[in-house]
């Protein structure tokens, strides 16, 4: 068992450090990951992994590697925040690949994007034919933002002269057969009200309900097990 103790401590230490770095760098680096961020994450994981299985590497060595690499990433983040001119070089720039309904081949070639890849990215935006697209922008994280031609855009309430409606957020009240009391309290609702609404839909026990959500002014939505 003694041989596993150092490995356990090193793994635990590496986990805590990686978690701390993720928090320090912020959620943006996860949700809007750039190619540089992706490669950096792979290298950081590889460095920690190699250090864990290197018998000559201890906690101090792992800590030094993580802090050094994490510090470099943090410096890059600070530079891109402070100096706008560096963002294009370090993070890349969005590129227009479809302009006024026409493919911009030079931009596609520069970004090594072929038609099949572009079609795949468009389908992820629920666009299944290029004839619907007025503009398509290749973002720095590899996704495509699409502006459809006016004939294919979904009309808004303003377009058809309808009065604006209040936007209401659905709140989860039951999850996996358990009542979420904090959400009930936030909506100023009671457990008795919830049970009554369940009975109206044929459910007498909370354990019979897998998921339930409520939107103000609407009927309670239930999903049984």
pLDDT (mean) for 157-171? 82
pLDDT score of 93 more than 50:
yes
Q: Where does the chain hold its CATH 3.30.240.20 domain(s)? A: 95-152, 171-224
Which residue do the tokens 């009927």 mark?
219
How far apart (Å, rounded) are the C-alpha atoms in residues 215 and 74? 41
Name the superfamily (CATH) of residues 95-152.
bsu07140 like domains (3.30.240.20)
Which residue do the tokens 């294009």 mark?
88
pLDDT (mean) for 45-63? 69
- Predicted confidence at residue 29, as pLDDT, reads 45
0.85 exceeded by the pTM? Answer: no
pLDDT score of 171 more than 50:
yes
Tell me the three state secondary structure of residue 133.
Answer: strand
With cut-offs at 50, 70 and 90, classify the pLDDT of residue 19: confident
More confident: 64 or 201: 201
For residue 127, give the nearest of 139, 119, 137 by alpha carbon: 119
pLDDT in tens, 120-149: 999 999 999 989 999 999 988 788 999 999
CATH topology of domain 171-224: CRO Repressor (3.30.240)
Opening angle at CA 43, ends 39 and 46, nearest 5? 140
In the numeric block, which tokens belong to residue 188? 């100023």
Residue partners of 223: CB distance under 8 A and separation at least 6: 209, 210, 211, 212
pLDDT score of 26 more than 90:
no
Question: Which residues sit opposite 200 in a β-bridge?
Answer: none
User: Other C-beta atoms within 10 Å of 70: how many?
Assistant: 19
Contact between residue 119 and residue 109 where contact means Cβ atoms under 8 Å apart: no
pLDDT (mean) for 72-94? 72
pLDDT (mean) for 189-212? 92
Question: Which residues sit opposite 210 in a β-bridge?
Answer: none
Residue partners of 99: CB distance under 8 A and separation at least 6: 135
Q: Where are the alpha helices (DSSP H) in 155-215?
A: 181-186, 191-200
In the numeric block, which tokens belong to residue 225? 């097990």
Which residue do the tokens 């720095």 mark?
140
How far apart (Å, rounded) are the C-alpha atoms in residues 225 and 214? 18
């Amino acid at each position: 068992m003694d041989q596993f103790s150092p490995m356990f401590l090193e793994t635990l230490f590496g986990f805590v450090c990686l978690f701390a770095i993720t928090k320090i760098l912020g959620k943006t680096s996860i949700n809007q990951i750039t190619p540089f961020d992706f490669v950096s994450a792979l290298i950081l994981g590889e460095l920690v992994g190699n250090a864990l299985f290197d018998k000559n590497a201890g906690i101090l060595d792992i800590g030094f590697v993580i802090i050094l690499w994490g510090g470099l990433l943090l410096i890059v983040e600070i530079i891109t925040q402070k100096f706008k001119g560096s963002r294009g070089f370090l993070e890349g720039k969005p590129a227009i690949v479809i302009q006024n309904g026409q493919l911009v081949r030079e931009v596609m070639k520069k970004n090594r994007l072929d038609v099949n890849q572009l079609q795949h990215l468009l389908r992820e935006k629920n666009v299944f034919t290029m004839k619907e697209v007025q503009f398509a922008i290749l973002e720095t994280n590899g996704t495509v933002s699409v502006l459809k031609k006016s004939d294919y855009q979904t009309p808004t309430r303003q377009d058809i002269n309808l009065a604006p409606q209040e936007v209401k957020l659905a709140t989860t009240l039951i999850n996996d057969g358990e009542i979420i009391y904090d959400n009930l309290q936030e909506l100023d609702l009671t457990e008795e009200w919830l049970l009554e609404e369940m009975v109206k839909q044929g459910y007498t026990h909370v354990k019979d309900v897998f998921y339930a959500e409520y939107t103000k002014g609407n009927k309670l939505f239930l999903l049984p097990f």
